[in-house]
């Protein structure tokens, strides 16, 4: 895997024709993309961690791993992973922080992250700073996983996950200190609907400080979605969800 960094092309929340499809986006500091080894498909070969680096595209830090054949890859840096540590991936790998194994090979109760949903596709769950999932039980080739949202989900035992919790947990204690901190991240100011002109938002208009009114809250386009369930009633993944995150 190449460590070449690619310039990210920004769109400022605009779609085709320059139409705003996502509000409050735009500007921000230029970024380069670091390719992350989500699959951990360098199996049964121990690599050495040579550095822990900052990545502007995610909340977690990333670790640079160098393998004996000269291959270099970035992975999410787990909590407690230090420079000089040896890590590996595979069914025979040791169950320790930074190693990637199939779920069926990881003990119950062990914290995990970078969790695959489809075996071989690469980690899609539990990738944010300070997060960790836990294995609840194993039965018939399926593993019950408790996600950080408290949702319990069935995942195939062949799916890979990395042992340990994602590092940089102290991120939640950081305060921006100024409006520019948010602008650098590409977030533009948000304006309340009640402060707008009535032609710009259904909540707008009125004399003085007026609220939403007697009618139900609406989106800027007049749709009543406040408190309304938007999840598909018959979603394909419902059969794998044992406990929803909202009970």
167 and 86 within one domain: yes
What DSSP designation does 182 have? H
Same domain, 159 and 224: no
Residue 102 and residue 167 in one domain: yes
Look at strands 32-33 and 6-7 and give their pairing.
Answer: antiparallel
Q: What are phi and psi of 207, to 5 degrees?
A: -95, 130
Residue 78, domain member (yes or no): yes
Does residue 160 or residue 229 have the better pLDDT? 160
The four Cα atoms 54, 60, 61, 64 give a dihedral, to 10 degrees, of -120
Are 39 and 149 members of one domain?
A: yes
pTM of the full structure: 0.88
Structural domain includes residue 113: yes
Shared-domain flag, residues 128 and 233: no
Among residues 122, 140, 171, which one ends one of the domains?
171
Q: What local confidence, expressed as pLDDT, does residue 2 receive?
A: 63
Residue the block writes with tokens 């409006």:
179
In a domain, 187, yes or no: no
| Residue 132 sits in the same domain as residue 11 | yes
Q: Report whether 127 contacts 167 (CB < 8 A).
A: no
Q: Which two tokens stand for residue 121?
A: 């596709």
The count of domains in the chain is 2
Domain assignment present for 145:
yes
Say if 25 falls within a structural domain: no
Residues 123 and 243 in one domain: no
What domain range is 232 assigned to?
A: 192-247
Q: How many residues does the chain have?
A: 247
Across residues 103-113, what is the average pLDDT? 95
pLDDT tens digits for 76-107? 999 999 999 999 999 999 999 999 999 999 99
Question: Same structural domain for residues 120 and 59?
Answer: yes
Residue 146's Cβ-side half-sphere holds a number of Cα atoms within 13 Å equal to: 9
DSSP state of 206: -
> What percentage of the chain has pLDDT greater than the value 70?
99
Q: Using CA atoms, how far apart are residues 12 and 183, in angstroms rounded to an integer?
A: 12
Model pLDDT for residues 198-221, shown as the tens digit of each residue: 999 999 998 888 888 777 889 899
Domain end marker among 107, 136, 171: 171
Cα–Cα dist 242/142, whole Å:
12
Same-domain status, 142 and 203: no
Q: For residues 68 and 153, state if they share a domain.
A: yes
Instruction: Confirm whether 167 is domain-assigned.
Output: yes
Average pLDDT over residues 119-126: 96
Task: Write the CATH number for 228.
Answer: 4.10.950.10
Query: Quick check: is 177 in a domain?
Result: no
26 within a domain of the structure (yes/no)? no
Q: What is the pLDDT of residues 20-37, one digit of tens each?
A: 999 999 999 999 999 999
The residue assigned the tokens 């407690």 is 80
């Amino acid at each position: 895997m190449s460590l070449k960094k690619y310039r990210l092309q920004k769109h400022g929340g605009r779609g085709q024709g320059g139409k705003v499809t996502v509000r409050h986006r735009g500007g921000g500091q230029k970024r380069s993309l670091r390719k992350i080894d989500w699959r951990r498909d360098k199996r049964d070969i121990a690599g050495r961690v040579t550095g822990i680096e900052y990545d502007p595209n995610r909340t977690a830090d990333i670790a640079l791993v160098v393998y004996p054949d000269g291959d270099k890859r970035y992975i999410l840096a787990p909590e407690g992973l230090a420079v000089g540590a040896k890590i590996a991936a595979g069914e025979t790998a040791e169950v320790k922080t930074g190693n990637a194994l199939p779920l069926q090979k990881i003990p119950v109760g062990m914290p995990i992250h970078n969790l695959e949903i489809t075996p071989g596709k690469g980690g899609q769950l539990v990738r944010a700073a300070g997060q960790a999932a836990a294995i609840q039980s194993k039965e018939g080739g399926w593993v019950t996983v408790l996600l950080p949202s408290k949702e319990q989900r069935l995942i195939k035992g062949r799916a890979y996950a990395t042992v340990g919790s994602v590092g940089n947990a102290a991120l939640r204690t950081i305060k921006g200190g100024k409006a520019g901190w948010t602008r650098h991240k590409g977030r533009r100011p948000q304006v309340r609907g009640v402060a707008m002109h009535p032609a710009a938002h259904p909540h707008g208009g009125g004399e003085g400080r007026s609220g939403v009114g007697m009618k139900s809250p609406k989106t800027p386009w007049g749709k009543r979605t406040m408190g309304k369930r938007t999840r598909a009633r018959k979603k394909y993944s419902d059969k794998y969800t044992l406990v929803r995150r909202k009970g």
